[in-house]
Structures are given as C-alpha cells and as structure tokens.
Amino acid sequence: MTSLQHTPITALVLAAALWLMPPAALAADTPAPVKSSARTASPPAGMPEYGEGSHGRSLTFGVYDGDTFKPAANTPYRLFLTAKGEKIHGTPSGDGILHGVTDAQGRTAWIWTAQPHAASDFTLIRRIGDGPWGHFFQLSASGDNEPLPAWPYILTMRQRWGEQWVDLGYTTRQGGTAYFSHDMPAAAISLSIESRTTDNRICFGELDAVNRKFAQDDEAGAEQLIAAMRCADTPRQQLDLAHLLLMAGHEEQARHWVQRARQWRFPESLKRPDKALLEDRLNLERLLAMPDLALADALALQYRQVKRGRAPRADDPDLANEIAYYLADFQDYLPQAEAQVRESIRRAGPNPYNQGTLGWILALRGDTDEGLRLMRESYRGIPRNEEIVADYGLTLWRHGQPEHAGRLWDEARAQCVWGRRLHDAMREAQYPHPYFQAADSPAVQKYRQRCDQPRTKRKTVAS
C-alpha cells in the first residue's frame, strides 16, 4: 500500500475548478468565453443543424497558438447555451449540449434557437475524449478574478501508478481549459500551470502543435512535427514527448522516447541525473509497464536517500515500499517485490503501508493465510486507504470469502472511500457501486451529494 502523492497545483488562482461534474451540471455555471462568430440568414450547404426556432447561427471556434488566436479546423468541441434559460434542442445526447467537430474553417454546426443569441451567450470549448465523466478548469488572476487567457497548462489524471498527462494547451479568452471526458468515475484531475515544461514557451508550443494534430486525427502531420522538433534533444524534452505520446495513445513510441532519455551521452552522462528528472522518468516507466527500468530507477533514488552523510528526513518517500507494490502487478517480478518490501520494513520498521504491501504480495505468491493476516492488521491502521480496502477485499473475494469482502466494501462506500484501485477491484468482483451506474443517474447524484461536492482551490501569486 502507498500513501497518495498528488501533483501540486501551482501559484496562480484556480477559480471555480469544477470537480468531475456530469455534463448537465457543468453547463449551468460556466461563464461564456468571447469568441468570433459567423452569422448569416441560413446555414451553408451541408452544415449540420440542431435546435429549434427561427434564429440561427454558427460559431467559429478559435484557440490560442502561443500568442495568437486562430480558427481551429477539424477540432472536437463542446457547445451549449450558458445560463440563458434556454438549451439547444435535438442534440444527440438530449441534454442541450452539442459535441461536434469543427469544419475546415473552424465553424461549428448551425444552431437554431427561439430567441436571438450573441456569440457570448454560448460556451464553446475544445473537447478531449468521449466518456460520461468530464472536467475542466477556469483560471483567473488573484484579487480581481480577471480571466487569464493564453496561459499554458497541463492536465493530469491520477492513474494507479502515477500522474498521466491527459491534455495540454493554452487557456481560452475566458481562462478555460479544454473539457476532458473519460470513463473513470470521480478520477483525480490536476491542473499544472507553472513547471519546467510550461515555462519554456518555445518547447511548449511545439508540444501543443503536435497535440493539436493528434486531436485532429492527423497522425501523419503529428509525426512530421515530431521529426522537425527543436526540443527533442535533452532527456527532459524527450520525457515530455513521451508523456505526450502516452497521452495520445501511442505507448510503444512513448517507450522509445523513454529509452532515448536513458541513453548515455557525453558530457551530460558524466553527472548523475537530476533528482526531479529521475522521478519523472520513474513515473513514466511505471505508467508504461516497464518494470525492469522502474526498479533500476527506484534503486537509484533509494541509494541517494541512504548515501553516506545524508541524514534520513521525515518527508522521504518510502521508495522501497512503493516499487514493491508496483512490481506486485507483474507475476515474474514477485520475488523482487517481496525483497523490496522487506527492505522497507528493515529501514522504516513495520507500518500499515508496508505490512499491507507484504500481505498483498504473500497472497499473490500463494501464502494466503499470512497475507490476509497482514492485510487485516494494515486495514485496522488505515481503514480509509482505498488500496488496502481494494486489495484486502479482493483477496477475500478470490479466496472464498465474498461476504466478508462485501462488508468491507459496503463500509468503504458508507465512508466515501474511492479511487482507481478500488474501482478496478470492485469491477473484477462485479460488486455494485453507485458510480457503476450512469453518470446522470439518481444513484450517482445522491452519492455525489454526500461524498463528492465540487471543490474550489484558490492560490495567490507569490510576491
């Protein structure tokens, strides 16, 4: 078991960060961005039409390309009327929200409404994915709440083994990110706006251009841009590109760039890698199922923790326990996993986290009784840790104690314990949970009212 590590949200104000709301709820509160529009008496030939009424228009969707604002051709979008007491009728989803793809001029579908509406009455943002759960952020300055347009950002989603990029780009004129939709209920989404990647505008612009090609399903165009990149030479740049390729679903290419980032080069390799770089590389290796490389980098980071002359620190992560828990997902690496968790116990002493990890590994290796005993003790110490709830319950279910597992998971639901690992365990056992119903169902709404209220995070600019 591991204690959760969260990507820090950076130093500007994060206003109205809407926490994984279903589509209809998002539509109610989102201020409309300013955008260019195309308005004529009737739609151009062949343009899709939606809505009802005698007033019609299309909108031209624009996105920032660094410092300029350009129409976005062939780009998935999300469009709805914003807080006007009217909705777009006849959308495929039936909720008044239109998901479409702009044409070659960056135009949306034609929208008919009963009342005349200016472009500012609509919300139009880029869309990624096509799942029932969705999220976006709006960024504003400290003090005056003025939107921050054209601000580079990266969205990450907490996976089981680390933070994975899910989108990058520039905020809209009203400070909005793209709308990211996915299939994972109540997943943890983070917004990063100040980092080594976003601060380098030239290199970030190259990543953004590649990402837009992937979003337009133009893989050949993306490959051409990658081949011409100026920012793909250093290990940091190569890891950033690997993040982007993983985000776009090209795992083998991402592994290739991780391997390139590990290559020996003169004179840089005469110095050991920067700790932050090594940690990011380890994060990618875990996400990309590269256990041999992940173990090597975890051992290198452990060596730095215990090297001569360095006193232990209270905030040092338990790297031995973390890599042990990861390696337990690979049958061929269970011996290494057990060796690492026992190293954690030797260094840090027994605690609920490494005892839970050891119990999970022993159960996977066939010592079910001792594994369950250790996980039971771990659960008593950290009953709200979703990983021990998932693993302990799944081991009980796999070994003939489904009633005990059910009681454990019912208690977790009552205490609002949730996460990716628990989702996967309950899915394997086909155990019911409100989040396994439709995102807009009464069961989900009731559970969210109790457990998952929208959150707003505010931070100020450092002086």
Residue ranges of the chain whose pLDDT lies below 50: 5-39, 455-463
Task: Tell me which amino acid residue 160 is.
Answer: R
Helix (H) or strand (E) run with residue 338 in it: helix 334-348
Mean pLDDT of the residues in the chain: 87
Per the structure block, which two tokens stand in for 344? Answer: 């954690």
What is the predicted pLDDT for the residue at 68? 83
Of the candidates 96, 87, 167, 165, which has an alpha carbon nearest to the alpha carbon of residue 127? 167
What is the predicted pLDDT for the residue at 33? 40
What is the predicted pLDDT for the residue at 182? 94
State the burial class of residue 448 (Cβ atoms within 10 Å of its Cβ: 0-12, 13-18, 19+). buried
Per the structure block, which two tokens stand in for 30? Answer: 């989102």
Per the structure block, which two tokens stand in for 430? Answer: 């086909």
Q: Dihedral of the CA atoms 231, 237, 243, 247 (nearest 10)?
A: -10
Helix (H) or strand (E) run with residue 297 in it: helix 291-306
Q: What spatial distance separates the first Cα and last Cα of the chain, rounded to whole Å?
A: 39
What is the predicted pLDDT for the residue at 427? 97
Task: Tell me which amino acid residue 121 is.
Answer: D
**Model confidence pLDDT, tens digit, residues 388-437:** 999 999 999 999 999 999 999 999 999 999 999 999 999 999 999 999 99
Q: What is the pTM of this model?
A: 0.86
Please, what is the angle between helix 235-247 and helix 201-215, to 10°?
20
Exposed e or buried b per residue across 182-214, where buried means at least 16 C-beta atoms within 10 angstroms of its C-beta: bebbbbbbbbbbbbebbebeebbbbbbbbbbbb
Q: How far apart are CA 376 and CA 409, in angstroms?
A: 14
What is the predicted pLDDT for the residue at 88? 93
Per the structure block, which two tokens stand in for 260? Answer: 């390139």
What is the predicted pLDDT for the residue at 360? 98
Sign of CA dihedral 33, 38, 39, 44: negative
